[in-house]
Amino acid sequence: MEDLAEREERAGIHVGDPILLSPDCLVDGVLSLYLCRSSFARLAPETKRNYTDDYCLFFDFLWSRGKAWSEATSDDLWDFEDWRTRSPRNPRRVGGSRWNRGLAALARLYDWAVRGAHVAVNPVVTRAAVGRRGEVITVPAARSKNARASDVHWLTPRAFHRWVDVGLRGHDADGAPSIGWGGRLEDRNASFADLLFSSGARLTEGASLLTFEVPRMRLDGGRYYAGRLARAVTKSKRARTFYVSAAVIGDVEGYVETSRARVVRRAQAEGRYERQPGRRMVTRLTGQRRCVLHWRDQHGLKGRTPLSEATVPERMSFFTEGPMGPEPLWLWLNESGLPLRPASWEGVFRTATARCEEVLSPVMATPPFCTPSPISSCVPCWATSPQRLVRCRKTR
């Protein structure tokens, strides 16, 4: 295993690439080629994760029929569509939008497989349709016509803060701290949720911030502070300015000085950062309008990465030399002191919503429900009216 990294590099397998195992624990070489070497590898991390889940569902469906993914026919796809969206035998049916996403994933895979002569027949049958501008386009015949682009509900500041207090801070229905609450890193979770709510940032955008990208409190005060989101972490692939309230900035700084510092010190004492693979020590920052990170890896190789071009995996590898040794530049850390992956926040939000349902159901008809927004984002109303602070949340 000592040369595993070199062999993976030669095979084109990179950190974060999905590897699929069949139920009999075998790896399909063609699928690995698609997942690691085709245009699929250049998709956004959230899209890659969602598409991989869709592939697993369809492949499991085929496996139950004694077929491999390369043996799928159009009849198999139509049967899968019926089971996925309408069959009473499926207790977890999905709507048109979710089905269309999975269909797009399958169309991408089988188009690539047909072009490379890896399969003889494309199971995704297509038809001609009229596009938005009147042009004739080709779309999958199984595409749902009743798909909704989003299911958006509004959360008032009062409802959101109650969700935070009960779900993330462990308060009871009366608003008082619960006796025996064993919440872990509640200041981290609450400040992250407040940052998304205040700034209107998407999940990955807020989750991938580095410590020096968060605006700093100033002595002259101010109600809001401006920060910059790097191009590489936004869905639009365009850098943009975000604004955060002074109260939220104070909460984030409090998290950095307390629980974050505690897990960092513990990880340093255990030597966890010294053993971290792929670590890049940032030695200096240069540039005013275009910040560049100068780094050195564990083998002594030196490099430079423009901050605007630093991807999420690269950001997770950046460290700096602190008073007690190496420290991650990634802002949000888990209990081991390592970077918390953006996808992990969805579990934090689900747990908080479940606790709100449990605690608040006896006292209110509809407990607050909140999820981070990884796909779509709305401009916060305080952008035009600070007095009416509401945030659009995407629900599922």
Residue spans of the domains in the chain: they are 4-140, 155-383
Q: How far is CA 254 from CA 153, 169, 213, 386, in A?
A: 31, 15, 16, 24
Listed residue (247, 263, 276) closest to 331, CA to CA: 263
Residues, the chain, total? 396
- 36-60 residue pLDDT tens: 989 998 888 888 989 999 999 999 9
What is the pLDDT of the chain when averaged over all its residues?
A: 87
Residue 262, token pair as written in the block: 């505690």
CATH topology agreement for domains 4-140 and 155-383: no
Tokens in use for 369? Answer: 């429900």
pTM over 0.85: no
- pLDDT at position 43 is 87
Span 155-383: which CATH code? 1.10.443
Single-letter residue type at 260: R
Describe the crossing of helices 344-360 and 186-199 by its angle, rounded to 10 degrees.
Answer: 100
115 — phi, psi (to 5°)?
-60, -35
Task: State the Cα–Cα distance between residues 233 and 237, nearest whole angstrom.
Answer: 7
Q: Could you report the per-residue pLDDT of 351-389, keeping only the tens digit for each? A: 999 999 999 999 998 898 888 764 333 333 333 333 323
- Bridge partner list, 286: 292
Q: Report the DSSP pairing between strands 136-140 and 391-394.
A: unpaired
Average of pLDDT values for 138-158?
78
Q: Give the C-alpha separation, 233 to 331, whole Å.
A: 14
The fold of 4-140 is DNA polymerase; domain 1 (1.10.150)
Q: What is the CA radius of gyration of the chain?
A: 24
Give backbone dihedrals phi and psi of 293, rounded to 5 degrees, phi first. Answer: -95, 125
DSSP helix/strand/coil, 283: strand
- Tell me what pLDDT residue 3 has: 84
Contact 210, 330 (CB under 8 A): yes
Distant-in-sequence, close-in-space partners of 190: CB < 8 Å, separation ≥ 6: 164, 168, 169, 251
